[in-house]
A and B are shown apart, each in its own frame.
Chain A
Amino acid sequence: MKRSVLLSAAVLAAVVIGAPLAGSSHIELGRAFAGVSPDHEIFFYARLPRVILALLGGAALSVTGVLFQCMLRDPLAEPYTLGVSSGASVGAVIAICLGWRATGLASLAGAALVLLMVLGMAVEGRRLSSFTLLLTGVTMNSMAFAVILFLHNLASFSQSFAISRWLMGGLEAVEYSTLASLAGVVIGVTTLVIKYAPQWNLLAVGDDWAASRGVSTVRLTAMGYIVGSVLTGLVTSLTGPIGFVGLIVPHALRLKLGADHRALLPCAFLLGGAFLVVCDTLSRTVIAPTEIPVGVLTALCGGPFFLWLLKSRRRSLWL
């Protein structure tokens, strides 16, 4: 367990140092740190913020994926299952159609609104019903999709282009102050989640199983859904929906590490971050100066790798 976490940390460190150096214009690390132009600007203002955003986004989506799959006991669950990111998309699309500049803020509001609606639907007494959450999430996703189609239909040509770009998901350099807040939330929440790793193990087996062994299932489940949704909403408002990461990284790790959340959660944070950094670096270098939407790459890189992993690991009969 310790070895896999250390190994994952090493992989992430290598990726984070390597990624900002790759790109269409060649730069040197020494010149960047010495403040020599343009290396300094490219490194610190174009590439590094984007790498950090990819790291935090990939980490948050993967950790949320692990949590949602565990709580819903559904291998197909992912961060977008509860509809929070669809809410974010609707917010962003409305902002684009009305010509607001603050797309990020609008999508954050959309995510928060959907989260409140989904939680409101699923509260039964003091506990949250996973079944209702799942169905409400699916419904929210379809409703949001319908709203987006409708708005897209009314949109002008340039708005339509902006909407498509947003829905493809993508990483752009953002302010360091935004990154610092995001890092605070993502690292804080992940630490909290990892602290309860032994309890997640029991919850992954069943509610009664966990409750009869002394786990406060009601509190833990509520916490899991809320923090997972907050992470998803925050990340989506900054990057748009990036598929596949939150579904595939948890499964790939389970195939290699097993199901113990004490190893799974830290590795999901580290390698989920590394995975998205790699995909984003490829997205801006492979056919530079044109960028490939990162969502296309997460699926194209992750998919075959995952299939290979699945094929090579026969001990597991199903996901």
Chain B
Amino acid sequence: MSFSARQLGFAYGLHEATFEFPRSGLITIAGPNGAGKSTLLGILAGLRSPYRGSCTFAGREVRQWPKREFARKAAFLPQSVRLEFPFTAEEVVLMGRTPYARGWFQTDEDRSAAEEAMTTTDTLAFRGRDFRTLSGGEAQRVILASALTQRPEVLLLDEPATHLDLRHQLSLYRLLGELSKSLLVVAVTHDLNLALQFSSRIMVLEDGRIAGDGAPHEVLNPELISRVFGVQATLHGGLHGTWMSYEA
């Protein structure tokens, strides 16, 4: 088990959430705007501190983990990174090594971890480019590479596909699916079809409460979608799995 939450709540937007996450797999968190998705992810990442109830990682309360040590276990990817300054892609990736840094200079181990992560995310080709000149898809992969250099047991992603075109959305989720074989990936998403196709489990939030939690094809039924999202959904079965269409 990785995360375990009991009666977890936060000042605004999250109430009495109780769940347990396994050590691997791809879990998506869905729900309408303001349902508490990012708040929940922030608590898991150790960024929203005075929460109510309990939220442990590996048996230890998240707020009591020393930050540096926790950063070697869990890596957080913000929705988007907008830089004001000319960092190169590689410099951004190497920032992920901060929880391991002993001094002022990068070690060979840091550099090889960065190289490995950039190979995995296919970003080596533009390692020297100014991060601000990268396309949305390239930037998102660089951010992912940076998280991977933390060598985490958990990846926490806030709407990782929002700024990506269809092809890049698919390739990102395919990569996350690969990674989720050996580590836990938790991704907030608005795209229920991506969740259906790739995740092993989905948690649907509504007004800060868990409205559904389980296997995607069981949780995402037309009644729940109508109640939570206010749209009529139709599920279609086909050769390539289940997918869904919506009507207002």
Contact = CB atoms under 8 A, between A and B. Distances in A.
Interface string A201-228: 1101110110111111000000000000
A202 B46 contact: no
Interface stretch (A83-91, A100-108, A233-241, A258-266): A258-266
B88 A258 contact: yes
Of A74, A212, A262, the most chain B CB neighbours within 10 A belong to A212
B6 interface: no
A69 B133 CA distance: 20
Interface in B38-66: 42, 45-47
Given A197-B104, A212-B75, A212-B76, A315 B98 contact: no
A204 B130 contact: no
Contact of A214 (B71, B85, B104): B71
Interface stretch (B14-22, B89-97, B203-211, B227-235): B89-97
Given A206-B78, A258-B91, A315-B133, A213 B99 contact: yes
Contacts of B99: 213-214
A55 to B, nearest CB: 25
Contacts of A73: 84
Nearest to B81: A205
Given A208-B78, A212-B45, A212-B71, A259 B98 contact: no
A284 interface: no
A205 B96 CA distance: 12
B12 interface: no
A122 B150 CA distance: 33
Contacts of A204: 83-85, 87
Given A212-B47, A254-B85, A201 B67 contact: no
A259 B45 contact: no
A205 B104 CA distance: 18
B91 A201 contact: yes
B174 interface: no
Contacts of A260: 87, 91
B221 to A, nearest CB: 35
Given A212-B45, A213-B96, A259 B85 contact: yes
A23 interface: no
Interface residues of B, number: 33
B115 to A, nearest CB: 18
A259 B91 contact: yes
Given A208-B47, A258-B88, A317-B132, A213 B83 contact: no
Contact of A201 (B68, B95, B132): B95
B98 A205 contact: no
B95 A213 contact: yes
Chain A interface category by residue count: 20 to 34
Contacts of A315: 86, 130, 133
Contacts of A195: 104
A254 B42 CA distance: 32
A198 interface: yes
A75 B82 CA distance: 13
B95 A254 contact: no
A122 B198 CA distance: 44
B70 interface: yes
B101 interface: yes
A315 B88 CA distance: 11
A215 B98 contact: yes
Nearest to A204: B85
A177 interface: no
A81 interface: no
Nearest to A1: B105
B81 A206 contact: yes
A214 B98 contact: yes
Given A208-B76, A262-B104, A214 B70 contact: yes
Contacts of A290: none
17 contacts: A73-B84, A198-B101, A201-B91, A204-B83, A204-B87, A205-B81, A206-B78, A213-B99, A214-B67, A214-B98, A214-B99, A215-B98, A259-B91, A260-B87, A315-B86, A315-B130, A316-B130
Given A198-B98, A216-B67, A258-B91, 20 more contacts: A70-B85, A74-B84, A75-B84, A75-B85, A198-B101, A198-B104, A199-B98, A201-B87, A204-B84, A205-B87, A206-B78, A208-B42, A208-B47, A211-B47, A212-B71, A214-B71, A214-B98, A254-B85, A259-B87, A315-B86
Interface of A: 69-70, 73-75, 195, 197-199, 201-202, 204-206, 208-209, 211-216, 254-255, 258-260, 262, 315-319
